[in-house]
Amino acid sequence: MAFVLEGLKVADFTWVGVGPITMKSLADHGATVVHVESRNRVEVLRNAPPFKDREPGIDRGSFFANFNSSKYGVGLDLRNPKAIEVAKRLIGWADVVAESFTPGTMSRLGLDYESVKAWKQEIIYFSSCQLGQTGPWASQPGYGTQLAALAGFYHLGSWPDKEPAGPYGAYTDFISPRFGVTAVLAALEHRRRTGDGVHIDLSQLEAGIQFLGPYVMEALNNHHEPELIGNRDELASPHGAFPCEGDLDANGFPDRWIVIAVFNDTQWGRLCDVMGNPLWARSSKFADLHSRKVNEDELERFLAEWTNQHEGEGLMQRLQSAGVPSGLVQNCEDLYKDQQLLHWGGFVELEHAVIGKHNYDGLAFHLSKTPGELRMPAPALGQHNGHVYKDILGMDPEEFDAFESEGVFT
Amino acid sequence: MPGAELPLSPYRVLDLTLEDGHLCGRTLADLGAEVIKIEPPAGDPSRFRGPFYENIPDPERSFTFWFQNLNKRGITLDINTVKGQQLLRRLAKSSDVIIESYPTGFMDSLGLGEEGLCLENSGLIVASISGFGRSGPHSGYHSPDIVVQAMGGLMYVTGDDDRPPLRIMPPQGYAHGAMEAAVGVMYALIHKGRTGQGQQVEASAQQAVLWSLMNATGMWDLNQVNVRREGALRGGVFGQPRKRLNWPCKDGFVTVTVVGSAAASTGNSTQNLVSWMIEEGFAQDFLAYYDFEAVDWADLAAEEYDLVIKPFHDFFNSKTKAELFEGALKRRIILYPVSTMTDHGRNMQLKDRKFFVKVAHPELGTEIIYPAPAVVFGGERLPVRRRPPLLGEHNREVYVQDLGISGDDLAEMAEESVI
């Protein structure tokens, strides 16, 4: 079956999260993506865990691999003046150029949009960074770990009486790529109709805020900071995570939880049935949504006593079968055993040149006629130098050898 | 973006989603598609979810509905009625995309599944958004946002380890799923542009949430380690002592990783921070000579860590978020404020980039501030073209002008609660 982006060529100068994930999507859907990196300034994620056998090594980690499936990888040291000429040849070949450096970096190299456009008018040029290409803070360096703080996710991912916590990791790095891919594909559509290229400027902060819209609007229009409400919900009760019986996890923590969310009195009735209609649940204190909201502390204590006597997965199945929204709070070990994810294609095993067989996160949407696919494992650093420079760019062997010996491909 | 034409201007999208899918159509609308939000006659459920403008609960004042339906037109239609189903089929004939997020099997049961709809329009793209996908053991599960955040692995790693796992509001599971559907629709539109063919797009919110776990899935796969939630600290994945990420300051918190090793890839951030502290008399002598580059922070003993970070605590506590961030910008320190939503209104970067726009809501006699679309396309931010629709606002425009239904028939359908 043909891939939707068959024939599209991408010069991928991005690194870390947003840029690589955005370009990975194009690669998984058939584009030829050449990912450019250098041993002289190693891509940050190549030095971050997890590593095979817990032994660090730039080609031993799955952090980088997960974000760079289906791509060719080349070494190119952009600090070497001769590398700039090679970069221009790569850009000359490409339909799409992508970069995610701190703004100004590509201009200093003479590889920014305006420079490229001067000799390649139809180029689609994607720039992603923390705060956008323009503005007083544009050149502030950083990662999604800090950007998640600036966007508001650490504040909102907290209990009202605790220090800001938030989700694990560089959360906004996983929001921004969706806006990146849709914009690049829109640019392709625009070019198909008009023949014109375009520059896309994607700010990770502005993309992150799209996931917080209603709360930002409350703050700016009502001049009122949204309240932190833990796991509760204005339209449901009970609505939260409750402890379950279960084994200790791999780290030795008794940490099994089930979420239960009751949005109306019908669902409450069903929950009571599954609980065997205990006396406490028949109290008028919990008879309707309003009463349950008023007496929510007490309700949660009773419910937790009940859930604590049950194993989580079985309880979820019983509740869902009875029509009560519920779900196991899954850790990553659980995710690999989840029958639904298994059915969906939640993880994809590929054989990496150094790591060997390991799992990549699967695609989150399926297309019936032109499905994407993780077509190749992520490249080891410089793995495809020969193929890309000689076969794709048509470099003759002597020139290739000369560049290589001068460290241009390092 | 040159001229009036936007990249998706030629395309018409019917948005039948509930609040778990709105962001998909919103994204296509931002890129220029003509998106028609189709609501049940009683109104989309998200019109009844807060927060509300001026805290007055009202279906025409919900920030949740407003934000997710900006740039769309809106009509009402009861697809549970035979007439409603006929109307939807007529609309589908002249549309390019239908997005829906009803429980699995519901559209099919009404004869409105992709097979029924595509019969008369082979170019139609039908996108379905659900919690878990449309087949498989959990496909029939109820999937409100908290269930998706739990089952996708996000809750387990959010919050504090001495508390239950925590859900992030506003609903993140819905947003992840809807955005993956938007990406899928874009690929389908590219294929349609080339071949004229439509196809089916299916998004799983659970799988979309899983994508937000960074390297945690890999941690289990390669090293059999379960990443846990760590509160304001980080770094204890392999059992090492955790290091502080979010630090209290005078008026809130800031985020900074106080390490210097090459592996942290923070350049000279920590050294620059220490230089600032020295200038202001906050660093004891030892800190001036402390070699942050040489220390492997993962293995640093707790006593030494506590000793080293004390001056940092004192320094941060002496300044506000804004003062610390201003200094960080000048000195190239990777330190950012832990923002509240209110802070965004004071964010000079967002102001300079005209990220917040005022949109007129004439029926309320006021302008409402919205975050604009995220993408700057060809030097111009994707525009806000219209405020979110009032309930049934474009019924006449769509049914009478576009479909050619007579005014009398429209009145009759309203009478019968079809629209």
Split at pLDDT 50, 70, 90, the class of B12 is very high
pLDDT at residue A250 greater than cutoff 70: no
pLDDT at residue B68 greater than cutoff 70: yes
pLDDT of residue B291: 78
d(CA A259, CA A240): 5
pLDDT of residue B268: 83
Task: Determine the 3-state secondary structure of B105 from DSSP.
Answer: coil
pLDDT of residue A357: 98
pLDDT at residue B1 greater than cutoff 50: no
Distances (CA, A) of B154 to A79, A232, A280, B371: 39, 16, 32, 25
Split at pLDDT 50, 70, 90, the class of B284 is confident
Q: Cβ A4–B345 below 8 Å, yes or no?
A: no
Q: Which residues pair with B62 in a beta bridge?
A: B52
pLDDT at residue B2 greater than cutoff 60: no
* Mode of pairing for the β-strands spanning A239-243 and A198-203: unpaired
d(CA B347, CA B349): 6
**pLDDT tens profile A272-323:** 999 999 999 999 999 999 999 999 999 999 999 999 999 999 999 999 999 9
ipTM > 0.90 for the complex = yes
A39 touches B at CB < 8 Å:
no
Split at pLDDT 50, 70, 90, the class of A253 is low
A199 touches B at CB < 8 Å:
yes
CA-atom Rg of chain A in angstroms:
25
Contact residues, chain B, for A179 at CB < 8 Å: 27, 179, 374-375
Percentage of chain A exceeding pLDDT 70: 98
d(CA A149, CA B238): 24
Average pLDDT over residues B301-324: 92
Split at pLDDT 50, 70, 90, the class of B74 is very high
Contact residues, chain B, for A251 at CB < 8 Å: 225-226, 228, 239
pLDDT at residue B260 greater than cutoff 60: no
Phi, psi at A313, each rounded to 5°: -65, -45
A1 touches B at CB < 8 Å:
no
Contacts of B13 (CB under 8 A, 6+ apart): B25, B28, B29, B33, B34, B35, B36, B95, B96, B97, B98, B99
Average pLDDT over residues A101-115: 97
Contacts of A66 (CB under 8 A, 6+ apart): A360, A361, A378, B215, B217, B218
Contact residues, chain A, for B165 at CB < 8 Å: 241, 257, 329
**Length of chain B in terms of residues written:** 419
B37: enclosing H helix or E strand? strand B34-39
* DSSP label at residue A377: P
A357 touches B at CB < 8 Å:
no
* DSSP label at residue B3: S
By the 8 A CB rule, do A379 and A35 touch? Answer: yes
Phi, psi at A275, each rounded to 5°: -75, -10
Q: Which of B53, B98, B129, B156 to probe the A interface (max A CBs under 10 A)?
A: B156
Split at pLDDT 50, 70, 90, the class of B257 is confident
Split at pLDDT 50, 70, 90, the class of B264 is low
pLDDT of residue B334: 93
Q: Is A161 a catalytic residue?
A: no
Contact residues, chain A, for B379 at CB < 8 Å: 199, 201
pLDDT at residue B3 greater than cutoff 60: no
d(CA A352, CA A62): 9
pLDDT at residue A93 greater than cutoff 60: yes
Among the options A173, A297, A361, A396, which is catalytic? A173
Distances (CA, A) of B240 to A78, B213, B220, B317: 37, 20, 17, 26
More confident call, A290 vs A169: A290
By the 8 A CB rule, do A322 and A329 touch? Answer: no
Q: What residue has token string 């219209």?
A: B386
Percentage of chain B exceeding pLDDT 70: 97
Dihedral, CA atoms, B399, B16, A177, B160, nearest 10 degrees?
Answer: 140
Structure tokens at B30: 């931002």
Percentage of chain A exceeding pLDDT 90: 97
pLDDT at residue B259 greater than cutoff 80: no
d(CA B307, CA B318): 18
pLDDT of residue A247: 67
d(CA A271, CA A291): 16
d(CA B352, CA A132): 11
pLDDT of residue B112: 86
d(CA B406, CA B410): 6
Q: Average model confidence (pLDDT) for chain A?
A: 96
d(CA B156, CA B230): 10
pLDDT of residue A248: 67
d(CA A67, CA A63): 7
In this prediction the pTM is 0.97
More confident call, A200 vs B269: A200
